[in-house]
Structure 1
Amino acid sequence: MPYNKNKQQAFEAAQQGATEAFDAYEAIVKDDADYGHQLKHLTQEVNEAYQQINNALETASETQRERLEQYQRDLQQIVEDVNQKQ
């Protein structure tokens, strides 16, 4: 039972981390004021999300794995988009 609980908690942490990174990305795209600070915040959120996703992948079910891999692809798209704008 603790294994399944930890597995679910890891997935939920990864899901929350990805959501926070996506929110930070939306904020940086919509508001150019204080871009440097926003970019630093976005970088931190993306890095944290990647860590949480990698942790969750260690114990993920097949369904969770598919979702986590989609989060990774979405985060990679954010990184590529930001890099193109610089």
Structure 2
Amino acid sequence: MPYNKNKQQAFQAAQQGATEAFDSYEAIVKDSADYGHQLKHLTNEVNEAYQQINNALETASETQRDRLEQYQRDLQQIVQDVNGSTE
């Protein structure tokens, strides 16, 4: 039972981390004077989400793995969007 509980907790932490990163991305206002601070916060959220996802992938079920991999793709798209807007 502890194994399943840890697996579920890892998945939930990854899910929450990804959601927080997505929310931070949606909240960025590119023309804001606070943009640099917002971008730094987003970077921290994305990095934390990646770590949580990688931890959860170690014990994920097939269904969880599919969702976690989708989170990774979504986060990668955010990184690409942000990097494209700063060039």
TM interval, shorter chain, is over 0.9
RMSD, aligned CA: 1.2
Contact 2:24 2:42 in 1 (8 A): yes
Q: 1:52 to 1:31 in 2, by over 3 A?
A: farther
Structure 1: 4+ residue segments shifted above 6 A: none
Q: 1:71 to 1:24 in 2, by over 3 A?
A: same
Q: 1:15 to 1:31 in 2, by over 3 A?
A: farther
Q: How many residues align?
A: 84
Contact 2:50 2:72 in 1 (8 A): yes
Please, what TM-score do these two structures have when normalized by structure 2?
Answer: 0.92
Q: Distance in 1 between matches of 2:15 and 2:52?
A: 8
Post-superposition offset of 1:31: 6.4
